[in-house]
Amino acid sequence: MSSGIESVLTETRVFGPFERVAATAHISGMDAYRALYDEADRDPEGFWARQARENLIWDKPFTTVLDESNKPFYRWFPDGELNVSANCLDRHLGTPVADKTAIIFEADDGEVTRITYRELHARVCQLANAIKSLGYQTGDRAIIYLPMSIEAVVAMQACARLGITHSVVFGGFSSKSLHERCVDVGATLVITADEQRRGGRAIPLKRAVDEALSQPGGEAVRHVIVYRRTGGAVDWNEGRDLWLHDVLEGQSNECAPVPVNAEHPLFILYTSGSTGKPKGVQHSSAGYLLMCLLTMKWTFDIKNDDIFWCTADVGWVTGHSYIVYGPLAAGATQIMFEGVPTYPTPARFWEMIQRHQCTIFYTAPTAIRSLIKAAESNEEHHPRKFDLTSLRIIGSVGEPINPEAWMWYFTNVGRERCPVLDTWWQTETGVHMITPLPGATPLKPGSCTLPLPGIDAAVVDESGREVEPGRGGFLVVKRPWPAMIRTIWGDPERFKKSYFPPEHNGYYLAGDGAQRDTDGYFWIMGRIDDVLNVSGHRLGTMEVESAMVAHPLVAEAAVVGRPDATTGEAVVAFVVLKRPLPQGDEANEIARELRDWVGREIGPIAKPREIRFGENLPKTRSGKIMRRLLRLVAQDQPITQDVSTLENPAILTQLSQSY
Ligand code: WTA
């Protein structure tokens, strides 16, 4: 749970409505929101059918809206056919959008590249033709391990054009994580780059691909297409590796989009769960795209002249829905940024908003919190110093935003003129679920406010009964929605068990704790399972624990989250070594070694902030690790609970020392 929770519970401020935004909004005023919500509530299938007909271009119209015959494996528009890439690109070709800028790409070093919809369409067609000529077809799976780049958008869209299911792996994941995903998804094609550039540094990507594919199962990948980003040296596997610029040579600008079934898996995106390995969240084509487009209109109120900027990486769901699919389907102009918010200075975001006249800005609380710190320590980096008057709407995603950060964002970035959209959603939900609408919803700092039309969200107790306002419980969604997760790739049983446990009446269980207030507003309290949220990135405690115990020195490890003012949560690892308790320099040395190890096993985002060594871990007499106690120890809180059941109470002193 975030450190902001206590202040959340006493929050009473209300902001809005925002007349300037409401005047032209797609959904203007609470009455309009309620009317749409009620329409969806009365006749969900009729509502979604209307939206799907009005917003998507179908090659074969659907006649069935929702197939519930095999719950919870819901199928939406199951006899319809379309192509996602045609719905993002071709639909604009005969319109004035064709020659509008689709992407304003700003590189790490500040170089700006613009591409129009017509040019993007041509690039996607060329790559699709190249992939086709290598023998790939509908149903194959491709891993995309690319930096933030127009090429990443092109690669994902080219896969979608051919009905090849993509699985994007964030460039910060290690070769080991990449290998696991390649094998699990059964990839035969990998698209990567020589290196990525972030914060002035070049970080190798191709090398990680080489390492991943040298492991068992890696030989299934027939081709690696390599985008030359930096020109850094790479090893070359003749016959398997191909330069992107070589495969594109001579390819036609036209490639007919392949119509696929509405339920065809557009992508699989791995995310952490409370147990076991990361799960491959499978998304559909039609239902997913429909809601990407609808939320661009509803939540972001996208207009023809907007300059939209979502700062997420394409390796996360936010980048999928709000860079690659939603904005393009909506025909929007968007900014895409290669680098990091603090390079060359922590004013980079504010400079870019000013430079590109950004109107809608969407980022993560962790970025906001780190920029607050930077702005407060150096006036030159304060958003006040920049002309941010182009902004109309500002948003937040990925973790709870504490009211203090919300107020700072609202005051200093939005200048009290722009609604702050605190959007609650998940990799599994595909798109926004609970969020304010900029032209309608009065805002309360720290609350994601109300569910979107068609989303039947609720807070329930252990037995699936709705709880009273003001009482905490499990956040659930009672009815299926078109963009929902379809299954966990290769593990339908785990899908059922994780998200539709029988005691919850067949409701979708989000894994978050929440409560509603008397206005029906939702307040997210953080994860209720063993999933951590570090800088908006999901991490399973089990995942980090199993990486740690794979190290030859480690006998046992327990990982917990500790609230952190900047990153939301920080990873704290309690470790028992196979050698005597280390002290001083030796302990520091081993801690550094273990951190690097976890970085290599999972990726730098999983590196524990603190490591604490003990001769053993606090366990009950029946042998269970007392995690609740460890969470208190991690926060350096006084232990008031009875520890007499501990096998060895003395170790609490050992564990209070962090490295
Ligand atoms: C958390 C990111 C509070 C939540 C789109 C969820 C949030 C997990 C919010 C999903 C928010 C996301 N307020 N918590 N506005 N948005 N979360 O899959 O715990 O990376 O379950 O998707 O992030 O993270 P994921």
Closest residue by Cα to atom 15, ligand 1, is 424
What pLDDT score was predicted for residue 411? 97
Gap between the Cα atoms of 27 and 38, Å rounded: 14
Render pLDDT for 556-596 as a digit per residue (tens, 0 to 9): 999 999 999 999 999 999 999 999 999 999 999 999 999 99
3-state secondary structure (DSSP) of residue 368 = helix
The Cβ-side half-sphere exposure at 641, using a 13 Å CA radius, reads: 16
Residue 281 phi, psi dihedral angles, 5° rounding: -75, 120
Paired residues of 31 in beta bridges? none
Ligand 1 centroid to 423 CA: how many Å? 8
Give me the residue label for tokens 């429909």: 290
Which residue intervals of 477-583 are DSSP H helices?
Answer: 492-499, 541-549
Gap between the Cα atoms of 130 and 643, Å rounded: 65
Query: What are the binding residues for Mg(2+)?
Result: 549, 551, 554
The 3-state secondary structure of 443-459, one letter per residue: ECCCCCECECCCCCEEE
Ligand 1 centroid to 537 CA: how many Å? 9
Query: What average pLDDT does the segment 455-470 reach?
Result: 95
- For residue 536, pLDDT beyond 70: yes
Ligand 1 centroid to 426 CA: how many Å? 5
Chain center to CA of 291: 16
Render pLDDT for 173-184 as a digit per residue (tens, 0 to 9): 999 999 999 999
pLDDT class of 210 with cuts at 50, 70, 90: very high
Closest residue by Cα to atom 12, ligand 1, is 398
| CB neighbour list of residue 507: distance below 8 Å, 6 or more residues apart | 458, 460, 464, 476, 477, 478, 500
Chain center to CA of 578: 37
Render pLDDT for 406-416 as a digit per residue (tens, 0 to 9): 999 999 999 99
pLDDT class of 2 with cuts at 50, 70, 90: very low
Gap between the Cα atoms of 86 and 611, Å rounded: 50
- For residue 639, pLDDT beyond 90: no
Tokens for 186, please give them: 């059964």
Ligand 1 centroid to 530 CA: how many Å? 14
pTM of the model: 0.94
What pLDDT score was predicted for residue 10? 66
What pLDDT score was predicted for residue 651? 86
Q: Over the chain, what is the mean pLDDT?
A: 95
State which ligand 1 atom lies nearest to the alpha carbon of 434. Answer: 15
Gap between the Cα atoms of 322 and 396, Å rounded: 12
Tokens for 542, please give them: 């089990």
Tokens for 529, please give them: 């399972």
Mutation probe of ligand 1 site: the residue of 281, 292, 425, 525 with most atoms within 8 A of C-beta: 425
Query: CB 365: neighbour CB atoms within 10 A?
Result: 26
What pLDDT score was predicted for residue 420? 98
Query: What average pLDDT does the segment 591-611 reach?
Result: 95
Render pLDDT for 377-391 as a digit per residue (tens, 0 to 9): 999 999 999 999 999
Paired residues of 576 in beta bridges? 556
What pLDDT score was predicted for residue 273? 84
Gap between the Cα atoms of 394 and 417, Å rounded: 10
DSSP summary character for residue 89:
I
State which ligand 1 atom lies nearest to the alpha carbon of 400. Answer: 3
Query: What average pLDDT does the segment 389-399 reach?
Result: 97
3-state secondary structure (DSSP) of residue 534 = strand
pLDDT class of 3 with cuts at 50, 70, 90: very low
| CB neighbour list of residue 518: distance below 8 Å, 6 or more residues apart | 469, 470
H or E stretch covering 588:
helix 584-601
Strands (E), 381-518: 393-397, 420-423, 457-460, 473-477, 487-488, 508-516
Query: What are the binding residues for CoA?
Result: 198-201, 318, 535
What pLDDT score was predicted for residue 8? 58
Which percentage of the chain shows pLDDT scores above 70? 98
State which ligand 1 atom lies nearest to the alpha carbon of 511. Answer: 21
Query: Between 621 and 40, whose confidence is greater?
Result: 40
Ligand 1 centroid to 539 CA: how many Å? 12
Query: Is it true that the peptide bond before 501 is cis, omega within 30 degrees of 0?
Result: no
Residue 345 phi, psi dihedral angles, 5° rounding: -140, 165
Tokens for 243, please give them: 């330069």
Gap between the Cα atoms of 508 and 426, Å rounded: 12
Cβ(655)–Cβ(614) under 8 Å? yes
Residues 314, 66, 160: CA angle, nearest 5 degrees: 30
Paired residues of 126 in beta bridges? none
| CB neighbour list of residue 480: distance below 8 Å, 6 or more residues apart | 66, 68, 72, 74, 76, 508
Cβ(442)–Cβ(14) under 8 Å? yes
Q: Cβ < 6 Å from ligand 1: which residues?
A: 271, 316-318, 397-400, 422-427, 448, 510-512, 524, 527, 533, 538
Render pLDDT for 470-528 as a digit per residue (tens, 0 to 9): 999 999 999 999 999 999 999 999 999 999 998 889 999 999 999 999 999 999 998 88
In terms of Cβ atoms closer than 10 Å to its own Cβ (0-12, 13-18, 19+), residue 276 is middle
Q: Which of 95, 500, 459, 53 is nearest to 294 (CA)?
A: 53
Render pLDDT for 60-115 as a digit per residue (tens, 0 to 9): 999 999 999 999 999 999 999 999 999 999 999 999 999 999 999 999 999 999 99
Gap between the Cα atoms of 554 and 548, Å rounded: 7
Give the orientation angle of helix 175-185 with respect to helix 584-601, to 10 degrees.
30
* Reported ipTM: 1.00
What pLDDT score was predicted for residue 6? 47
Give the orientation angle of helix 541-549 with respect to helix 584-601, to 10 degrees.
120
- For residue 316, pLDDT beyond 70: yes
Ligand 1 centroid to 170 CA: how many Å? 17
Mutation probe of ligand 1 site: the residue of 524, 539, 543 with most atoms within 8 A of C-beta: 524
Query: What average pLDDT does the segment 372-378 reach?
Result: 94
Query: What average pLDDT does the segment 13-28 reach?
Result: 95
